[in-house]
Structure 1
């Protein structure tokens, strides 16, 4: 997963967007004397409205992120004991490869647009829908270690209202279903209910993740657990739905 997300971030960086012209490119001489202005790229100042499109710039990694995202905090993430025997919170140190600086705690605020975009499947063998998706207002990620020592995360996306949350959740599920089981990313659904879905997201030649998604009120939660035996995790995924839904949309 990190390799794919890193590739997305690298693509954004390679776009070369800048709000300032280069030192020697503000103007160029014209044959008749004087100078001819050269247009420069400027960043869009309008708030993003489509989570299905990549942000113009990746999340900043110049300082450790806050441990809360507006009203969304650790209270909106399930306690590790609710997720399984031996689960623990994990203070991710981050680093250059991870693309963020650790803040010495297990939760970190995410740039909402970036977090919502990165959660979508990338590398599918089949074409994905192209409809636009709402951008959340807040995003918070919690890091865990499972009883088997595997990494796991819960991403909480808080939207302006329940309609936007439902819109993103529906678009996310449509893309996961359309992804298919061929390509550099394969997605296999384990089970689904009206308000929760469990899937396996497997990257070719890399690790596989059991993913559980649910929506409640104005909040979408996405849990991802690395697993060597993802097909055996269907019952576990069902068992933790109540723990997620009990806290994710609390004020």
Structure 2
């Protein structure tokens, strides 16, 4: 497990990370075309940048940095499951288990329409594996979604271009993830205690981070009067919500 060193957090830090992710993908296209785009999509490099920010959010809630670790395995019925960020009461040198706060990070940057079911099923399977073994474990997940994905056809010629995600696809994703966020003890083991969606337009400089449905509707990423909400799916209160749920389940030395 990697040790964790906090950096300066906050909204500006998140946009900074999103800008660096944009540079990763744009640079891959300019250097190696479509092959570079594929390689970067499969690489852990972009999402690893978000691991740091998630850890910073946890420490900002007055959790000791010595309790936070990166890329730690948690044993489940079907083998070890490596989680991107873990928080362990009394310190990361203690074994993981039911009192661990476990957070995964993934991204959907291209081929989103084709792969949206796989993304959703993968996150649900992760929650199922962890909760089946540890019914009281608190699990969070962060998903970065590019509302304009990189255009593979343009990348063939080492040209950077983007395609707008259809409003129906984005609406379906927001609705789906909203339904499986906010798990309480005894509820579906395939749900997460908290999900966060980072909806970003990587075609702009700096990257635009959408935090409200109204802004997404205004810019045409969702249909007007969609009836959707991002309440309970934001990144700003993500760590606080997870820690609050952990403290409601665990006591004494096992409490964050």
Report the TM-score when normalising by structure 1.
Answer: 0.27
Which structure shows the bigger proportion of residues in strand conformation? 1
Between 1 and 2, higher relative CO (CA 8 Å, sep ≥ 6) is seen in 2
Which structure shows the bigger proportion of residues in helix conformation? 2
Decide which structure has the larger Cα Rg and report it: 1
